[in-house]
Homo-oligomer: A and B are copies of this chain.
Amino acid sequence: MPKVVALAGGVGGAKLAFGLARNLPPDELTVVVNTGDDDDFHGLHVAPDLDTVMYTLAGVVNPQTGWGRAGDTFAALKGLKEAGEETWFQLGDLDLAVHIRRTHLLREGHTLSEVTRELCERFGVRHAVVPMSDNPVRTIVHTPSEKLSFQEYFVKHRCEPEVRSLEFKGAGRATPSPYFEFAVARADALVIAPSNPFLSVDPILAIPGVAGALKGIRGIRVAISPIIGDRAVKGPAARLFDQIGGEPPSCVAVARRYVGLCTHMVIDRTDEHREEEIGRLGITPVVAQTLMNSNEDRVALGRAVLDLIASST
């Protein structure tokens, strides 16, 4: 089987990671996860995308939301509010325990990579889930009037403020995590999950050396479009194309962002008529069902991506 490096953000990335993991043995897949969304809540290190991927692969994710833990309760959050903490960021009790554990291990001197590996072992996740970097990178959203942390923009303000630009604070001084570098060096293929290009993938690419290293992966490099028609499956990807992407949202607009990085792009059946446009960008379009509503959908899309990789290797 080919050795695959997949770049992922939160829910969309986690769903594809699930589909790939069901089709690949553990040592053939490394899921590299955006940590630009990480933040400090209540003095605890919260890594939403890492947890979403880990919970999804472990089968304990909340199936309704796609993030958080299935069947979680919110007693401690009530206690935090009562004790004077700001609690607009929803943290369930089981989820909170993971943040406490992560923070505990980080404070003891372990790297985020080590902590993530330890947590994944605890959760029975055998495929490698690795942070993009062990250095802090924080996505800052610049609006016309202020700078917001990613979670302020995403959760507190529900993606409503107009985005003027994004800043990946710390990225310039960050290095890729050791497992990320190792996985890229031995990879046969790159997969970019249907995650937000601006908020999930760009922070990874902003780390010096990463884009070049990814382009050096010998096999095919395939992205799955998170835009179907003119809409994002989830989150603010579509409106970000309008606000900072320079063109209306479409799978073609996504492809344009990956020119030079990707050799192939998976687009949804409903976008079949845009194959030619994508081809003109020097990217080979591949049509599949990209909407992942069930585990079967996820496994099927993972299978399709791996078939593509196998047929091109």
Contacts and interface: CB of A to CB of B under 8 A. Distances in A.
Interface of A: 42-44, 69, 72-73, 75-80, 82-85, 92-98, 100-101, 103-104, 107-108, 118-119, 122-123
Contact of A76 (B94, B103, B118, B123): B94
Contact of A97 (B69, B83, B92): B83
Contacts of A94: 75-76, 78-79, 82
Contacts of A73: 73, 75, 93
25 contacts: A42-B100, A42-B104, A43-B108, A44-B100, A69-B79, A72-B75, A73-B75, A75-B76, A75-B92, A76-B93, A76-B94, A76-B97, A77-B97, A79-B93, A79-B95, A79-B96, A80-B100, A80-B101, A82-B94, A82-B97, A82-B123, A84-B119, A85-B100, A93-B93, A100-B100
Given A73-B75, A96-B76, A84 B42 contact: no
A98 B103 CA distance: 17
A47 to B, nearest CB: 13
A252 B92 CA distance: 51
Ranked 6 nearest A-B pairs via Cβ: A79-B97, A75-B93, A43-B104, A83-B101, A79-B94, A76-B93
A124 to B, nearest CB: 10
Copies in the complex: 2
Which of the listed residues A44, A76, A83, A85 has the most CB atoms from chain B within 10 Å of its own CB? A76
Contacts of A97: 76-80, 82-83, 85
Given A75-B75, A76-B97, A97-B76, A83 B43 contact: no
Given A75-B75, A75-B94, A79-B95, A84 B122 contact: yes
A118 B103 CA distance: 24
A43 B100 contact: yes
